[in-house]
Amino acid sequence: MTQTRPLVLRNGLLLRPEESDASPADILIDDGRIVAVGPPGLAAPDDAETFDAAGYLLHPGLVNAHTHGYGHLSRGLTDDVTLETLIAAAPWSSGNRRHEDTYLSTVIGAAEMVLKGCTACYDMFLELPAPTDEGMAAAARAYETVGMRAVLAPMVSDYPFFQAIPGLLDALPADLRPQARGFAGAEIGLLFDRLSRIVRDWPHDRERIALAIGPTIPLLCTDDFLRGCVRLAEDNGLTMQTHLSESKVQEVAARKRYGRSLTAHLDALGVLSPSLSAAHGVWLDDDDMARLAGAGATVVLNVGSNMRLGSGLPDMRGLMDAGVTIGIGTDASSCSDNQNMYEAMRLAAYASHLHDTDYRRWVRSGSAAQAATLGSAAALGMPRIGRIAPGYHADIVFLDLGHIHWLPLRNAINQFVQAEDATAVRHVMIGGDWVVRDRALLTVDLAALKPQVEAAVARLDAIGQTEREIFRKLQPIVGAYCSSLACEGHHVHRLAGHAGCA
């Protein structure tokens, strides 16, 4: 499907999120890049192929700035977990994986994303107890096979979860404490050995499959480890991503452990920079937002996941006011449970309406669309995606304006954010190559994939019985303990009503 000669898309309606506008335009593409954009009738080389884009809204591919490829095999597994009990479920939901499972999990998520108009993602990759070359290669192969761009950040941590939440280990009955040892982070030397080797041997074009570093959650990392991650990223020009201020429990725990907020602590360690994206940021306060803005970091909102896990609603307007670059993500299918960036974009905008009775402070459609394209692109460290303009990669989604979502067409940017749900996606092009044509994925045989995925899940369920039983014992204890911790006084409010606290 590789493009061999110039291609001109004629008479489409071009959506420009950066201008909150749509207007008819022709687009000339050559060698995977956009060469020119102009009014209908745009000059094109004699040998250019023409595609009649009349009846389509053309928008830059959506960029999912936070997901987890390993999580897609766990889609639908739970409907009653908080962030902390989801972490306690990890050996059950994400353990015992072979590299082939990593490939299958990643490929179904990538397939879903491109079918739903998303052309690039930031994948925080997990392999327990520590990432390997082979595991990373399996995930990279999945994105290459589907034909989408990705950043792969191996999630790494060296501090045990049950000690990261003050008092949690002591809250466990004696017979469960040995099980908690399974949640220890890996040894710091082993982690840097593995990371250094992965960085040294990374074979991929960084505009297609980029490598990054993903210290999982600051509370799960020692200070030395965080500093080492920053050095490794800086020395090799890599981006970093972490889960920051996702739940109230994390911020309460940070005050107990560091005597300051997570963001203030990361600032003191030198972690904040333009290369850092912070997933979630639900419980950031004004000072945190100012620090992130000052450092040029990006915050990636995942409102679907925040609602599903009961984490709270992030303050997108507050982040915008502070000058923070904002991206949007879906988070993993184990906590979201789809990879629909239209939905993620809509939820991010709507959540802002619940923060303020003053409608003038609500996030408008153009801002949400910019966050899901250019803002997310900043998190990925890919400066040539997120926009349809000369010099950018030809990552273009064709929405069928004959679809009911677009009847009538009154305001393209509003309907893009408020009405579209991916069902009008007709074609998707990445780097000038067709990946989805007439709603069909051209790169992966989904019918052939289904029995492979079902067999993998059946095997994982059979060998994960012990881990499931341990989780069932841990869930009520971890859930109750963290729930009481989340009821401690705090100056930031992100939950509706009294949130169950007395």
Q: Which residues here bind Zn ion, judged by CB under 5 A?
A: 331
Distance CA 183, CA 491 (A): 30
- Phi and psi of 202, rounded to 5°? -60, 120
C-beta closer to Zn ion: residue 112 or 331? 331
Cβ at position 241, least distance to Zn ion in Å: 9
- When CB distances to Zn ion are compared, the closest residue is 331
Cβ at position 243, least distance to Zn ion in Å: 6
C-beta closer to Zn ion: residue 127 or 331? 331
Distance CA 207, CA 410 (A): 36
Give 487: exposed, middle or buried? Use CB within 10 Å, 0-12, 13-18, 19+.
middle
Cβ at position 106, least distance to Zn ion in Å: 15
Cβ at position 216, least distance to Zn ion in Å: 9
Judge contact between 8 and 27, C-beta under 8 A.
Answer: yes
C-alpha to C-alpha distances, 368 to 50, 149, 246, 290, 373, nearest whole angstrom: 32, 21, 20, 21, 9
Cβ at position 6, least distance to Zn ion in Å: 40
User: Which residues are bridge partners to 429 per DSSP?
Assistant: 396, 434
C-beta closer to Zn ion: residue 285 or 331? 331
C-beta closer to Zn ion: residue 331 or 400? 331
C-beta closer to Zn ion: residue 277 or 365? 277
Pairing state of beta strands 49-52 and 118-125?
unpaired
Distance CA 459, CA 2 (A): 37
Distance CA 131, CA 125 (A): 8
- Phi and psi of 88, rounded to 5°? -65, -20
Distance CA 384, CA 228 (A): 29
C-beta closer to Zn ion: residue 179 or 245? 245
C-beta closer to Zn ion: residue 107 or 279? 279
Cβ at position 319, least distance to Zn ion in Å: 18
Q: In this structure, which amino acid lies at residue 168?
A: L
Cβ at position 156, least distance to Zn ion in Å: 14
C-beta closer to Zn ion: residue 331 or 343? 331
What are the helix (H) ranges across 247-395? 248-258, 262-269, 286-295, 303-308, 316-322, 341-353, 365-370, 376-380
What are 441's two structure tokens?
């994925």
C-beta closer to Zn ion: residue 101 or 331? 331
What are 20's two structure tokens?
């909150």
C-beta closer to Zn ion: residue 261 or 306? 306
Distance CA 414, CA 20 (A): 9
Among 362, 345, 298, CA closest to 59: 345
- Cβ-proximal residues to 176 (8 Å cutoff; 6+ apart), any chain: 470, 473, 474, 477
Cβ at position 251, least distance to Zn ion in Å: 17
Cβ at position 42, least distance to Zn ion in Å: 41
Q: How many CA atoms lie within 13 A of 6 on its CB side?
A: 14
Cβ at position 303, least distance to Zn ion in Å: 13
